[in-house]
Structure 1
């Protein structure tokens, strides 16, 4: 029989575990023996209940008790974080959750790539076009300021072409009409110049003939992940289409520090780290913003 101890330090929950998950509070250490001090393994509470752990009946019951004593919360912040992490990710029809089997599907990217290919094919015979990209999908245009940008609606039904200045800002794209006409006849139709207003630059607009089909929301990786803890979770289509700032680090709207959502606390936190003399990394989480209030991201 092996020697295990349930500890409250170095808990094993990850950002994909919901607030209140027992792994944020408890983990299991394995020692060389009853009097051993050297940790030779770290596990979750579930491990003690598996057939792999040669654990005593007492510690198995204690693990089961602790698992049953906490209740995870399907908080809005956590749900948005999971959808943001799994942006554009879907499981295959087999239901496999292996990372190598995940399907990446984004209608916006598909139609933007189609438009870029059509434009580049039209530019092949134009010697005035050369230079480096300024941002994704941008090719400098010699003598006509410096570039263009292609974007699309989130559902992939429409593409937009903007003209760019040297510093990457948009201006009226009327002079791109001749090049944009290269879109007509293939995946696109109704190509036109669209003035917006004095404040916003005009653009080239084209409708998509064959809009990429949407994937079944039930197969979205975030839905499958959340249902491991909350089986009744219904797909949030609005977060599948646009998870906004659900995952990653963003400036706090009050103090300006870059903060990220931490499921352990169900709050945004300013995260820092330091390395001690033994080479161990220690993390700190600043949960309070100005005047002791929580951080906020808008």
Structure 2
């Protein structure tokens, strides 16, 4: 069995290794005095700014400061929190994929999954009643009701790896393996079309930017920019209005996920089980600094 070691922190990842980022947030919480790391996607209830973390030394997981949040899961993949922080929803990729409800105070998960058949799902909550997830195996964006497990297809797009919500009715989806693009999805328009029995596909989506390689993860800063990780070594900043792209750093080793802390730092998970911090301020040294080690042991 596997254990979730965190709340929602660094998303996305190399397939087969992707759940390593699930260990990141409790590790970062220890660095930041117990607060959780945020994507700074305005709509997500679990995403509140935290204090700037200490640089030294890197935190090691597992340890007293980086511990298991829940056990009894096979292959935990992603997490999202309700507005109170008392409930965590965890996706598990085993056996076709499932969504579980977890009491964060006790670490107890629900006896039965909220829903099943969701594949390798990356999930975010728009509010306590509505979540959205993507699954690259089914090439779908779905809406899910956490209380009931009911699912509704929203859009079809090739190889969606990750998503973020802007709090204004739009989802930004990072894709790979063929499309290699960051898409903007008008959720209301997409759901209205699928409700009529019509397909809302990537041909109708707004392309924010494209990439020469797979885009594994995306985080929004709430100020008109997205940060995306590109398979290989790069973290890029993307202007959501113009699509203009600028490289923040190209000194990462197979980056697999990204999150922002709201204080000028990006945290990037890598396929070697590390979590790295990058300064985002203009003129700052953009050399990645290792913040946490041993996250590969989460899986």
Normalised to the residue count of structure 1, the TM-score between the two structures is 0.24
Normalised to the residue count of structure 2, the TM-score between the two structures is 0.24
Is the radius of gyration larger for structure 1 or structure 2?
A: 1
Give the structure with the higher percent strand.
2
Give the structure with the higher percent helix.
1
Q: RCO (CA 8 Å, sep 6+): is it higher in 1 or 2?
A: 2
